[in-house]
Structure 1
Amino acid sequence: MDPVAQAVKVLRSGGLIIYPTETCYGAGADAANQSAVDKLLRYKSRREGRPLSIAVTDQTMASKYIIMNTTAKNLYNKFLPGPLTIVSAGRHKLAKGVESETGTLGVRIPDHPVALALVRRLGRPITATSANVSYKPRPYSIKQLLKQTSKKQQGLIDYIIDAGTLPKRPVSTIVDTTLDDPLVIRQGKINIPPRGGIISKSPEETKKLAQTLCLKYWKDLQTKPLMFLLIGDLGAGKTVFAKGIGAWLKIKQPITSPTFTIEKEYDWVRYGIKGRFLHLDTWRLQHLEEFEALGLKKQLLPKTIMAIEWADRSFDYLLKIARKAKVVILSLQTEGAASPTHRRITFGR
């Protein structure tokens, strides 16, 4: 039996395979089989909310599992097949754990004959996550893979397609298209220039953007504070964005604007990790001394997320104290009476 046929047999039985892709070795499971996906998640260990992307044969197969908007379709037509993962709203037809916590799903059309043959012969998507255990280097050979995995993890692998040492190519680019305007989550081999901004059509979309960014910078948050500097007029959506952070952190208390208290603090526990969320409204602060009195520099610790509304009131000072933090600057603007719920959100001042 040829390797692809044997691998498909394993996939049909709910097994876990290792297979070559155009970037590195991937870990494949039948994305519609819950026990197979659970096995893959045990193999990968720490996923911390990140979705498992899937490999499909074409747009027709993709559309069965995601809602493809015009932005996504344009990216499919221009770049796929190839090392690009396009994130869209999922249709919730796959096993639990494949889609993200917010119901989004990353899709790839592989540009590798083996990967494509696996999906085609199986007749439905397989997972397209890299075969490395979480936070370990991406494997370009089976020898490297086995060296960095434990015996327990190796015991979860049912079949390996060994294509030798793969070329060390860059990772795939990941683009979120759920807000219509493309948002680059990870820049990889395919270079997609960052857009100046996106249009949020509702408060829920603004919250979803906050959650997407929290997940994007989750790894950074483990070793440094994450600071969101929010700029925008009254009613532009700054507090709504903060509510999205609170929702993603599963904070039970209502997130309200701290206009009169200036600062509100919340404890959170996410994926077994404890941290703090500081929400500030600096509208009433007029002088640098007032900012210094808050003691923000001492509070900028790893696992601390800080969202500061009206950050432009002391922008230079905030950037100065946040030199060791991951800083995300967002400008929010209303789109006028013609589109009262729309907000233009740009990255940068």
Structure 2
Amino acid sequence: MGVDGSDRGEGAGQLLADGEAQISLRQAEIAAAADALRAGGLVLLPTETVYGLGADAANPAAVAAIFEAKGRPRFNPLIAHVADLETAARIAQLDDRAYALARAFWPGPLTIVAPIRDANAVCDLARAGLDTVAIRVPGHPVSHAVLEAFGGAVVAPSANRSGRPSPTTFADAVAETGDKAAAALDGGPCAVGLESTVVSVLEGQPRLLRPGAVTRVQLQQIVGPLAEADDDAKRSPGRLALHYAPDAPVRINAKAPEAGEAYLAFGGGAGGERVFNLSPTGDLAEAAANLFSFLRAADRTKPSAIAVAPIPEDGLGEAINDRLRRAAGFIG
């Protein structure tokens, strides 16, 4: 029951193709998940980023059940997941910049915030009362198959309880919110391991609202210079000051652990009973894929705190550091 994802449209498209044989063996499971969504139930879904807790985006009662299951503040908008660009264009008002981004990075870990076109397709509660919608086409074959079978938009925030590290394995997703789900699909470990990049395409320059696996440089290659989040920040999930946090306090940019601490290392040489090396070779993609699962593993050792080694800010490091600053209680 598993398949992975990718960080660009081309790679994700190949992944979808590679997963077709496996999906054909899971049609009953896919159909059951789509039926559960139509009935107003919640479904645990794998994506290439993290596991999501999904509901029919058009059903306010189902969306309310997500907020209740996660303990999520209702002013925090949800991302609508759809099967293809055509469906996205029926729901959101996509301009030339949005189409260029979608063609470059969908299916994949990019969310586009644009003016809402069909407010019935993504209900007011899912949009936190905003006149915009956050939308993406995921690149994981399992979630893609469910979306195709369902036929509409599915809001699917990370399947953790609000504020905790996002689940990147099926076991962690089930442990967090599995008791709230009418169906649960195992898609294996998430390949990206960080939530999607979020960029708004409204008036003025596009704005980077949340960094992710699609990097600032990649976005700029498509749409030119990016403005910072500013007032558009409210249009993106994942912007709370304390977010992605384990039970133990998090101490960032730590050169070494102190007594009683667990340590998330980065690069070679680190080892020990409570040491979890995000990437022995200093690979940022590997570190991103391991971040949330290692935070959880470190937390299970009941440390006095979790110290985290300095992570470079370039490329994918911007997204990793954003999550770490929020886990530590700082606004990134």
Q: TM-score, normalised by structure 2?
A: 0.58
Q: Does 1:144 align with 2:165?
A: no
Q: 2 CA distance for matches of 1:76 and 1:10?
A: 29
Matches within 5 A, 1:71-82: 71-82=97-108
Q: 2 CA distance for matches of 1:128 and 1:51?
A: 11
Selected match of 2:96 from 67, 70, 84: 70
Q: Does 1:177 align with 2:197?
A: no
Question: Aligned residue for 1:156?
Answer: 180
State the one-letter code of the partner of 1:78: A
* DSSP 3-state at the match of 2:78: coil
Question: Aligned residue for 1:41?
Answer: 67
Q: Does 1:220 align with 2:241?
A: yes
Following superposition, which runs of at least 4 residues in structure 1 exceed 6 angstroms of deviation?
324-327
Q: Does 1:103 align with 2:131?
A: yes
- Structure 1: gaps spanning 5 or more residues: 200-208, 223-323, 328-349
Flag the structure with higher helix content: 2
How far did residue 38 of structure 1 move?
A: 1.3
The alignment-based identity, stated in percent, is 30
How far did residue 73 of structure 1 move?
A: 1.2
How far did residue 197 of structure 1 move?
A: 5.8
Q: 1 CA distance for matches of 2:56 and 2:96?
A: 28
Query: 1:71-122 CA deviation, whole Å, 9 max, x = no partner?
Result: 1111111111110001111122222211143321111111111111111111
Q: Work out whether residues 70 and 180 of structure 1, in 8 Å CA contact, stay in contact via their aligned partners in 2.
A: no
How far did residue 220 of structure 1 move?
A: 2.9
Q: 1 CA distance for matches of 2:138 and 2:204?
A: 23
State the one-letter code of the partner of 2:212: G
State the one-letter code of the partner of 2:182: D
Q: Work out whether residues 31 and 95 of structure 1, in 8 Å CA contact, stay in contact via their aligned partners in 2.
A: yes
State the one-letter code of the partner of 1:66: A
Selected match of 1:120 from 142, 148, 157: 148
Aligned residues: 213
Q: 1 CA distance for matches of 2:83 and 2:101?
A: 15
How far did residue 127 of structure 1 move?
A: 1.2
Q: 1 CA distance for matches of 2:188 and 2:210?
A: 27
Q: Work out whether residues 81 and 155 of structure 2, in 8 Å CA contact, stay in contact via their aligned partners in 1.
A: yes
Q: 2 CA distance for matches of 1:215 and 1:86?
A: 10
Distance 1:78-1:14 versus aligned 2 partners, 3 A rule = same
CA RMSD of aligned residues (A): 2.8
Q: 1 CA distance for matches of 2:330 and 2:151?
A: 46
State the one-letter code of the partner of 2:125: G
State the one-letter code of the partner of 1:76: A
Q: 2 CA distance for matches of 1:166 and 1:112?
A: 9
State the one-letter code of the partner of 1:86: I
Q: Work out whether residues 48 and 192 of structure 2, in 8 Å CA contact, stay in contact via their aligned partners in 1.
A: no
Give the greater-gyration-radius structure (CA): 1
Selected match of 2:113 from 76, 87, 90: 87
- Structure 2: gaps spanning 5 or more residues: 1-26, 244-328
Greater RCO structure (CA 8 Å; 6+ sep):
2
Question: Aligned residue for 2:40?
Answer: 14
Question: Aligned residue for 2:160?
Answer: 132
Q: 2 CA distance for matches of 1:97 and 1:54?
A: 12
Selected match of 1:211 from 211, 231, 237: 231
Q: Work out whether residues 168 and 193 of structure 2, in 8 Å CA contact, stay in contact via their aligned partners in 1.
A: no
Flag the structure with higher strand content: 1
Q: Work out whether residues 192 and 213 of structure 2, in 8 Å CA contact, stay in contact via their aligned partners in 1.
A: no
Q: 1 CA distance for matches of 2:330 and 2:63?
A: 35
Q: Work out whether residues 71 and 181 of structure 1, in 8 Å CA contact, stay in contact via their aligned partners in 2.
A: no
Distance 1:221-1:112 versus aligned 2 partners, 3 A rule = closer
